[in-house]
Amino acid sequence: MTERVKRRRLATNQMTTSAPRERKYAQSPSAAATAEDQQTWKGFCEIESDPAFFNVMLRDFGVQGVKVQEVVSLDESLLDMLPKPVYGLIFLFRWKEEDNDTQEVFCPEGVWFANQTSPNACASVALLNIVNNVPNLELGEQLQRFKDFTMDFPPALRGDQIGNFDFVKSIHNSFARKMDMLNADLHLKNEATASKKQQGQKKSAAKNVEGDDSAGFHFIAFLPVDGDVWKLDGLDRQPHRLGPIGDQLWLQLARPDIEEKMAQYEGDQIQFGLLALVQDPLMTQLPALAMNVKALATIEAKLEAKVSEWKESAMSDSAELDALIKGPDAAYQLTQEAIDSKEVPVDMQERLAGEEFPVLLDLHYKLVREQYELRRIAREEEHSRQSDNERASARRHDYGPMIQEWIRMLSDKGVLEGLLDEADEA
């Protein structure tokens, strides 16, 4: 690999010309990383391709109305099942240099694109390269100010700003464990030492990295912007324009490039992952629930005026009717303001105008069934959010000290050596 590429590689192979200052930790290296360690550390930790981690990061960033889901296949029927709209794809793979001739000469004015200039920052860079290109997305105060501040910056300077943005770095590094930080610091130190030894020597021939298992994993983004589909790779100097969307779905234009990278691996090697950034289903479900409550109140008022004992003729049983949401409900983030803001659709108003009792009962039954479905989806999304928080909390916990203590206990009891011998023989 050429020296130019090495300087722009992702974390595990990035080089520097001077040795980094050795980081001093307040506690023993075997102690768990403290919040202060994570916040003051100058690097970025590696993050796995897990939608739960990305969802928690986005919420901590302050981004609203989006959700990250795993994409298990690029089959068209499965892609169609993703919540719409799909704002972008985040692809994880083993990085290697590609033909740079397909890159734009300059970053187009309408595309917010940042280079990855800090080791291991590709997860945050990929996220920011998507959310900063979604029109009218609620980014939160910190990210909105950052986007506005860097709007006229070139990609490299945007990348430098990400590396110096403590707000993003502290959220990213909330997943950092002490061993992650020590290994990253040691790697940079070793790279700097090797770089010094090579200074003044003749550069070696470029290394072909195809099949190189030491190549690091890397996140890149695919997304539509202003009628075109783009590949935004923070290690490229400029974005790649894949083509105009036209009448097709933008995912169809991104699929060949992703499939080409997937095809480079053997059948039993799963060395890639794909995530989709989509609209949070609650963005449509909660307004629909508010409309449902408003429509039910309107119909029940009509029924009550027509037949006071209308519930005896209702198609839903009494338990279902009693369980209906008929006003504000904190469990579903449903406010009276949201309900009052809704207008009963014109077609429903026309059906209500006739005031025919069977018609009203039929419409009421359909709205009851609709509400139960809306509430089911809302509960599932809330459960998914809680599950994400639990997974992220477990990932953020530093188990290193516990594992080290467990190993010490095995050694003290004289069983560690035997276990190692068994492992060698297996």
Q: How far is CA 336 from CA 4, 288, 329, in A?
A: 59, 14, 9
Q: Where are the alpha helices (DSSP H) in 13-73?
A: 35-40, 51-61
187 catalytic? Reply is: no
CA distance 89 to 254: 9
CA distance 307 to 322: 18
Sign of CA dihedral 234, 170, 273, 183: positive
Catalytic residue chosen out of the listed positions 45, 107, 122, 364: 122
CA distance 315 to 55: 41
CB-CB contact of 391 with 50 (8 Å):
yes
Catalytic residue chosen out of the listed positions 172, 218, 240, 364: 218
218 catalytic? Reply is: yes
Report which DSSP code applies to 180.
H
Q: Which of 423, 99, 408, 91 is nearest to 254 (CA)?
A: 91
Which tokens go with 8?
Answer: 């722009």
Surface-to-core class of residue 76, CB atoms within 10 Å of its CB (0-12 exposed, 13-18 middle, 19+ buried): exposed
Q: How far is CA 50 from CA 358, 388, 395, in A?
A: 51, 9, 10
Any idea which residues carry the catalytic annotation? Answer: 122, 218
